[in-house]
Amino acid sequence: MVRHFTELSDLGSEGLLRVLDAADRFQVQRGSPSHPRPLAGKSIALIFEKASTRTRLSLEVAVVELGGHPIVLSTEGSQLGRGEPIPDTARVLSRMVHAVTLRTFEHERLLELSRVSSVPVLNALTDQSHPMQLLADLQIIRRARSRLQDLSYAWIGDGNNMANSWIEAAGLLGLQLTLACPRGYEPDERELERARQRGARLKLVHDARQAAAGADVISTDVFTSMGQEREREARLQAFAGMCVTREVVAAAAPQAMVLHCLPAHRGEEIAADVLEGPQSHVWDQAEARLHTAKAALEWALMPDD
């Protein structure tokens, strides 16, 4: 059976932890001659219908360091931009490459690709979720705190793709997560309910300090995601008071970790002195994209069970 990684739940709770173990191993092995090259002789298509720095870099470098050959395609530079249907594209990709990663807008586009593709499809961000980023976030938290459970997590900002993936992670791992979002920008109630049923302890509030109170990890993201540029002014107004400032961080547990998937807008969702401050882990978080990208590719292409 083909292994697609469209959501964190495709991994399952145990699979997720095994992927994080693999990422830790890849981190240690980096640069050593013993670094495994399981993708030797394999080509991986990396398709971007939206901009990217970290995801593009991490996936491309991951494929190369695993011994494979990455092929980057963009909407503009391929027939996707001229309207070639996803199912046609999927059938062609399946005959030429060994896996496909896709960054796109509607999540349904990713699902459509995965339904038709006979090679693994991995989610490199959609409007709905960003599971690869969560792998990196969880990897660095576990490395820093030696555990993921028994920590208190805060999400401050938009109820967006990143928030949805945090909610999903909370469900898979039984985490305690408080989300502070402005009214009208909360995550989808169905995502919250699904995660609660899986064991997440979730709280939804509308105040940044309330979410941060006692938190061990504070995460945030841009207020205006890719594709929402026309909403920027309205969003800036709606999100007033949601910036992760020093005062917000002071409400958290001592030495709380501050995360941001990047790119960051200093002074909007995060204060410059917090982003650059001693509790910020954003550069480790960015680096972890590489180790976890390798682990995700290995999970999809080299099933061990």
Work out the number of other CB atoms within 10 angstroms of the CB of residue 93: 25
CB of 157 to ligand NVA, least distance (A): 9
Annotate 197-262 with DSSP letters as a single string.
HHT-EEEEES-HHHHHTT-SEEEE--SS-TT-GGGHHHHHHHTTT--B-HHHHHTS-TT-EEEE-S
Among 4, 42, 54, 294, binds ligand CP (CB under 6 A): 54
Site string (59-88) toward ligand NVA, x via CB under 6 A: ------------------------------
- 176 as an active site residue: the answer is no
Site string (118-137) toward ligand NVA, x via CB under 6 A: -------x------------
Note whether 129 binds ligand CP by CB under 6 A: no
Paired strand residues for 122: 5, 101
- 4 as an active site residue: the answer is no
Cα gap 280→223, rounded to integer Å:
19
CB of 211 to ligand CP, least distance (A): 21
Q: 53 touches which of ligand NVA, ligand CP, none (CB within 5 to 8 A by kind)?
A: ligand CP
Tokens standing for residue 303:
């099933």
Half-sphere exposure of 58 (CA within 13 A, CB side): 27
Q: Choosing from 4, 56, 98, 130, which is the catalytic residue?
A: 130
Among 6, 27, 52, 117, binds ligand CP (CB under 6 A): 52
Work out the number of other CB atoms within 10 angstroms of the CB of residue 48: 22
- 261 as an active site residue: the answer is yes
Q: For the sheet with 217-220, list strands across it.
A: 201-205, 176-180, 152-156, 217-220, 257-260
Size of the site for ligand CP (CB under 6 A): 8
Specify the stretch interacting with ligand NVA by CB under 6 A; choose among 11-19, 64-72, 86-94, 155-163. Answer: 155-163
- 27 as an active site residue: the answer is no
Site string (23-62) toward ligand NVA, x via CB under 6 A: ----------------------------------------
245, exposed or middle or buried, with CB in 10 Å at 0-12, 13-18, 19+? middle
Among 221, 268, 269, 298, binds ligand NVA (CB under 6 A): 221
CB of 5 to ligand CP, least distance (A): 15
192: enclosing H helix or E strand: helix 189-198
Site string (99-128) toward ligand CP, x via CB under 6 A: --------------------------x---
Query: Is 164 in contact with 129 (CB distance < 8 Å)?
Result: yes
Residues forming the active site: 103, 130, 133, 221, 261, 289
Binding site for ligand CP (CB under 6 A): 52-55, 125, 133, 261-262
